[in-house]
Chain A
Amino acid sequence: MGKKVVLPWKKTVLLLALVCIAIGPFFGQTDTSYIHKGLLRVAGTFAIGDMPENKITNAYLTGNLEYYPDKTVSFRGDAYFLMNSLTENSILKANDAIYFGGVYHFRTHSAFDLVFGFQPGVSYTQMLKADGQNDVATICPLASVVTGFNFFAEKWFHIQVNVRYTIGQHLSQTTEMSISELSFNFGLGFNLF
Chain B
Amino acid sequence: MLKPCWKIYRSFLVLVFVLLFGYSKGQTRRDSIGSGQFSFGMRNTLSAFTDAQSLGLGSGAEVRIRLAKQINTEWFGDYISTNVQNLGYRRDAHIGWSVLFYLNKDPLLAGKLSAYVLAGHCFDYTQVYSDWPGVPVGERWSSAVQGGLGIHYNLTRRFDVSLLSQYMVHFGTNIITSIDYDEASKQNYLSITKGSGLSQEGHLLTTLSVNYMLGYLWGKK
Residue numbers of A with Cβ under 8 A of B are: 69-70, 72-73, 75, 100-102, 104, 118-122, 139-143, 167-169, 171-174, 176
Q: Which residues of B lie under 8 Å from residue A122 when comparing CB positions?
A: 59, 79
B contact residues, total (Cβ < 8 Å) = 28
Binding site for A on B (CB under 8 A): 41-44, 57-60, 79-83, 86, 88-89, 129-131, 155-156, 158-159, 161, 208, 210-212
Q: In the bound complex, how far is the Cα of B39 from the Cα of A175, in angstroms? A: 38
Which residue of chain A has the shortest Cβ distance to B86 in the bound complex?
A176
Please determine whether A167 and B57 come into contact, CB atoms closer than 8 angstroms.
Answer: yes
Where chain A touches its partner, the secondary structure class is strand
Known: A141-B57, A167-B57. 20 other contacts (CB 8 A): A69-B158, A69-B212, A70-B156, A72-B155, A73-B156, A75-B212, A100-B42, A101-B210, A104-B155, A118-B42, A118-B44, A119-B42, A120-B44, A139-B79, A141-B79, A169-B57, A171-B81, A173-B131, A176-B86, A176-B131
Question: What residues of chain A lie closer than 8 Å to B211, measured between beta carbons?
Answer: 102
CA of A122 to CA of B57, assembled, Å = 11
Q: CA of A160 to CA of B99 in the docked complex: distance in angstroms?
A: 40
Q: How far is the CB of B110 from chain A (nearest CB, A)?
A: 10
Query: Do B42 and A102 touch across chains, with their CB atoms under 8 A apart?
Result: yes
Closest CB pairs A-B (n = 7): A102-B210, A120-B59, A171-B89, A143-B44, A141-B59, A73-B159, A101-B42
